[in-house]
Amino acid sequence: MALHKPYKDVPGTTIFDADQSRKGYWLNQFCMSLMKAENREKFKADERAYLDQWAMTEEQKQAVLDRDLNRCIALGGNIYFLAKIGATDGRSFQQMAGSMTGLTEEQYREMMAGGGRSPEGNRYAHEQQAQAPQPAAPQSKPEDQ
């Protein structure tokens, strides 16, 4: 029996649940390996060779190589583990988050200091459908009567 997951109705949101955890297990284990200096050195020396030592999918490996963090999350990555990649690259969490939102680090900082993103357009999919303008009913012309 499948579990009801109402959070699946939030567009653009990935919840790190048990399914995501299973899907991203090796991706997240790779990230945690970067906590050791010798592993960071091996990774930076030959990223592809280091990734090939992990039982990750090819799509996960490519997302890491591309530093496509949004794709990594979709493929089971947990942002707290993925932060290890950013740290290995010398990037701050703000830089990483900014890149995930299409903003510079400064723009991201200003957005967050200003209260974050507007909730407009960030609602449940079923709420967006209910708020969508309905097409007007065709009106008859006087000569049609």
Decide if 127 is inside a domain: no
In three-state secondary structure terms, 77 is coil
pLDDT in tens, 108-131: 999 999 888 777 766 666 665 655
pLDDT in tens, 67-118: 999 999 999 999 999 999 999 999 999 999 999 988 989 999 999 998 887 7
Decide if 9 is inside a domain: no
Q: How many domains does the chain have?
A: 1
Decide if 140 is inside a domain: no
Instruction: Judge whether 27 and 60 are in contact, CB under 8 Å.
Output: yes
Residue 136 confidence (pLDDT) above 90: no
Decide if 40 is inside a domain: yes
32: domain CATH number?
1.10.700.10
Structural domain boundaries enclosing 64: 15-113
pLDDT for 140 equals 56
**Averaged over 28-41, what is the pLDDT?**
98
- What is the value of pTM for the model shown? 0.76
pLDDT for 71 equals 96
* Closest among 56, 52, 61 to 24, alpha carbons compared: 56
